[in-house]
Copies of this chain bind each other. A is one copy, B any other.
Amino acid sequence: MPAAILDGAAYAAEIRTEVTRQVAWFNAHHGTIKLCAVLVGSDAGGRLYAESQRKLSVQVGVQYELVELPEATTQTELLAAIDRLNADARVTGIILQLPLPPHIDPATAQYGIDPYKDVEGVSPANIGWLFYDNPIIVPCTALAVAELIGRSGVVVRGAHAVVVGQSRVVGRPITMALLTQMATVTGCHAATQDLAAYTRRADILVVAIGQPRAIGVDHVRPGAVVIDVGINRVVEHDAQDQEVRRTVGDVDFGSVAQIARAITPVPGGVGPLTVAMLLRNTAEAARKQLQRRV
């Protein structure tokens, strides 16, 4: 029986509806929710991405401001700019657009963001709180993955989850989030030997390696829940030898969907849900700022 398709785009729409309600309530009772994105250097891709963030933010009632700083901004100057946003009570959320210029350490800059305003949940402080089962703001991708696993109906507690890819802001937070949910979790990465021997044992398989269709049917146990975090643009040739541009995941969807219990498509899976989780975090951050614990 082919897999259930975990429709991230549809779940994202549900979450945006819920967030719109939350934002309206907050705006009515506590002033405006305002998200500031900081972009260092005039990166065209970064500005395009910011425009898409602005559109999505405004849709749910969140004010959005792009703060552009010159490429030559020093780390100290960036931290000072972030501190001004931290201190500004009208700003309830801060995003630092990546990549930063090479002379700035991303984690140090992210650590400068007030953990209550860090709506992406990527500051080392927020990552550490996740470790302690007491998160302020959880990384958006980890939230999206957890939501998709939940929607698959699999019981996480006691399941064996295998997370392939251990990047700092995606694979590792997902690994930790699954551990805090009491899955037995195996973290795999580029140095793992005989990857398929691990992935074939997974009840829940999460892949975040950025390699188009690298995980095939030989890597997956029949009946597993497969969450594909990868978003890869590929150019392929069709039967008429025409170039076709496609967006594909890290998982070979066509074959794996034949044996999995549930699977996320790419596009339309983890991607849109991650964006929706950023908006949910933005509403959550504003609400939590009313009752700070640190």
Interface residues of A (CB under 8 A from B): 105, 107-108, 111-112, 123-129, 131-134, 157-158, 166, 168, 172-173, 175-176, 179, 182-193, 198, 293-294
Nearest Cβ in chain B — how far from A126, in angstroms? 7
Known: A125-B125, A131-B168. A191 touches B198 (CB 8 A): no
A-B contact pairs, 12 of them (CB 8 A): A108-B294, A111-B294, A124-B131, A157-B191, A158-B192, A166-B179, A175-B179, A182-B190, A184-B191, A184-B198, A186-B186, A186-B187
Q: Is the CB of A172 within 8 A of B179?
A: yes
Residues of B within 8 A of A129 (CB): 107, 111, 124, 128
Closest Cβ neighbor of A135 among chain B residues: B124
Cα–Cα, bound, A246→B232 (Å): 58
Cα–Cα, bound, A255→B237 (Å): 60
Residues of B within 8 A of A127 (CB): 127-128, 131-132
Q: Is the CB of A185 within 8 A of B184?
A: no
Cα–Cα, bound, A108→B105 (Å): 26
